[in-house]
Amino acid sequence: MAIYIALSTLTDEGRRTLKNRPERVKEVNKEIEAMGIKVLGQYAVLGPYDFLTLLEAPSNESVLKMSVELGSRGTVQLITLPAISVDDFIKTLR
């Protein structure tokens, strides 16, 4: 399984939803896990993004499907990056 970093930015509608129902973040994580993607960790962050989420997924295609599904709701915009551990990175360079 591969690791991915998802950087998400809430839309105005998404901010309204979280203001009224902060627990919605955890509900969305359960929906992600139902898609076969494990949420390894999640952080609310300051700056141009609202959340950083670490994911473990079976394929790029599964992450793509998740991104389209969540993005189509109009509450969040996602940038998803595949990640390689530093140890694997070093092995690749040798």
Query: How is the chain split into domains, by residue range?
Result: 2-93
The Cα 46–Cα 13 span in angstroms is 19
Angle between helix 60-71 and helix 24-34 axes, rounded to 10 deg: 140
Fold of 2-93: Alpha-Beta Plaits (3.30.70)
pLDDT digits (tens, 9 = 90+) for 10-57: 999 999 999 999 999 999 999 999 999 999 999 999 999 999 999 999
For residue range 62-72, what is the model confidence (pLDDT) as tens digits?
A: 999 999 999 99
> What separation in angstroms does the CA of 33 have from each of 28, 37, 55, 66, 87?
9, 5, 10, 10, 27
pLDDT for the residue numbered 46: 97
pLDDT for res 26: 97
Q: 9 by DSSP, 3-state: which?
A: strand
